[in-house]
Structures are given as structure tokens and as C-alpha cells.
Amino acid sequence: MPGSALVAARKAACGLLDLLFPDECRVCDEPLRLCEPPYEISRVPVCSRCLNAPEFFRAEFYCAACRTPFVNRAPLDEAGLCALCRLGLNGFDHVYTFGAYDGTLRRLIHLFKFEGVETLRKPLGALLARALPRECGFDAIVPMPLHWRRRWQRGFNQSELLAKEIARRWNAPVADVVHRKKATAPQAGLTSAQRRKNVQGAFEVKKGRRLEGMRLLLIDDVLTTGATASVCARALKRAGATEVTLLALARRDRRGGMEVAAGGAAGLGS
Ligand SMILES: [Zn+2]
Ligand SMILES: [Zn+2]
């Protein structure tokens, strides 16, 4: 093929790609590079730089069980546990999260959850997998359920899509064993105690599901105070589960002020 024809063919192909795929990153608004390296041809409308931007959550002081970060050692006992874990108020046994709920990670979660970009399940699932130690073993992966009305409005349960990504990698089945029987009021603006009260009795293990002796991995997208996940974990334990580990993409950093070490501003909006 003569050079000019090749150039024309390439231009036509690029034109077609531009039509088929979105051309701007939905996070940073930079054009996606379809026709030059690193060839960002995928159904994910986010550039590779933004997909690689989220960083691991870092904290100097945190609870050994729920990994809640603190500005100093004072809230932790000799065993390294926070007051909630010490008093058994957290229904789960371990918690793993990837990053702080701010910046790019927060934007990616919003795109996935509220703007219907379901294709983000793979890159977000990959981040989630990085947060979970490889040696952890589970009998089943349980997605945090949505109330049926919320699920119907959204068209999917984001935790279920993430659970499938983890199930593939950890070779454990997804078990849709628990349902949300109460459409709870939004938790934003409530104190920890009010949040616990708000979600009391919100979850129920489905009839006939036996969980005796099972080690379960509960998957959620964002962990705020852990009150909702805690109530769900307790319902799973009442049905016989021996261990419930919580895995979430992001956690809100509630240390407050500007001393937040994890990824800049405290950004606790939404
Ligand atoms: Zn970008
Ligand atoms: Zn704790």
C-alpha cells in the first residue's frame, strides 16, 4: 500500500475509534490516546494515568483489627485495639481497604456507582484485590446487599460486581445470602451511635441459608464508620458464620483537620 493510502487508512481507523469510544477521560478531561501510545482503547472511559493514580491508605497509628486510623496511639490498648473492637461493637473480625475516599479514587467510585460506568468493575476489582493479603482464605464472598428499591433504581449492585472480581481471583463462590429488608435513611450527617441505630435490624440472612462454620468475606465499596457493615456482619454470624472479614475499596479518613496523611485533603464530602 502506498504511504499516503496507509496514512488515509489510519486516519479513517482513528476516526472510527473516536466514534466508537469516548474520547475524553471522565476523571481528568484529557483526551484518551486512541491512536498513539499507550493506546487507551477500552470500554473504560478513564485514562491509564487516572486508573493508576489511587494510592494505598497510609496511617501511622491504626487499630489492629478494624484498621481505623488515629492521629496518635492514645485510643489504642496494649493489644493495639480501638474502643469499638475492644468492646466487641464491630461485628467483623478483620478489615482491609485500599485507599482513602478522596481524589481520583472517590471520582472513580462515583463514576462506577452513580454514573453507570460498569466497566470500571475490572480496574476497581484489581485495586480491591491488592488490598487483600493473598494468604487469606474464605469459604464464600458476600456482597453487601442493596435494598431492592435502590438496586432497581441503579440497575446493579456495585458490591456484587466487585465481589465477582474477587471471587474469580480467590477461587471462592459469591454467596448472595443476605438481604436488606429495611430501606435505611442516608447515613450522612449522623454520629456513629446514630448510624448504628439507623441500620439496626436492616439485614437478614435469607431463609434456609446455613452458614455454620463458614469464613466469609464481605465486600463493600466505601467504609465510613463501619456501622452498616458491622450490622450486616452480625447478621451473618447469627446465622453461624465463624469469621467475617470486611473488604472495601475506600475508607473515609475521619481523623479530620488538615493533618490527614493519606492523599492530601480531608475531602469528606458526599
Ligand atoms: Zn485521566
Ligand atoms: Zn478497631
Q: How many Å lie between the centroid of ligand 2 and the Cα of residue 229?
A: 13
**DSSP structural state of residue 120:** G
Q: How many Å lie between the centroid of ligand 2 and the Cα of residue 267?
A: 22
Q: So what's the pLDDT on residue 77? A: 96
Q: How many Å lie between the centroid of ligand 1 and the Cα of residue 31?
A: 8
Residue range 158-166: mean pLDDT, rounded = 96
pLDDT digits (tens, 9 = 90+) for 231-268: 999 999 999 999 999 999 999 988 864 333 333 333 33
pLDDT digits (tens, 9 = 90+) for 185-217: 677 777 777 777 778 888 999 988 889 999 999
Ligand with minimal distance to 92 CA: 2
Using DSSP, state whether 248 is helix, strand or coil.
strand
Domain with CATH 3.40.50.2020 in the chain: 55-251
CATH number listed for the domain at residues 55-251: 3.40.50.2020
Record the pTM.
0.83
Q: How many Å lie between the centroid of ligand 1 and the Cα of residue 101?
A: 18
What b/e sequence results for 41-65 when a residue is b if at least 16 CB atoms lie within 10 Å of its CB, and e otherwise? eeebbbbbebbebbeebebebbbeb
Ligand with minimal distance to 84 CA: 2
Q: How many Å lie between the centroid of ligand 1 and the Cα of residue 14?
A: 20
Q: How many Å lie between the centroid of ligand 2 and the Cα of residue 177?
A: 26
Ligand with minimal distance to 246 CA: 2
pLDDT digits (tens, 9 = 90+) for 108-143: 999 999 998 999 999 999 999 999 999 989 999 999
Rounded Cα distance, 50 and 29, in Å? 10
Mark the residues whose beta carbon lies below 5 A from ion ligand 1: 25, 27-28, 47, 50
CB 71 within 8 A of CB 255: yes
Ligand with minimal distance to 27 CA: 1
Residue 150: CB partners within 8 Å, gap ≥ 6? 183
Residue 46: CB partners within 8 Å, gap ≥ 6? 25, 26, 27, 108, 111, 117, 120, 123
Q: How many Å lie between the centroid of ligand 2 and the Cα of residue 224?
A: 13
Q: How many Å lie between the centroid of ligand 1 and the Cα of residue 66?
A: 32
Residue 25: Cβ within 10 Å count? 20
Q: So what's the pLDDT on residue 182? A: 78
Residue 98 pLDDT greater than 80, yes or no: yes
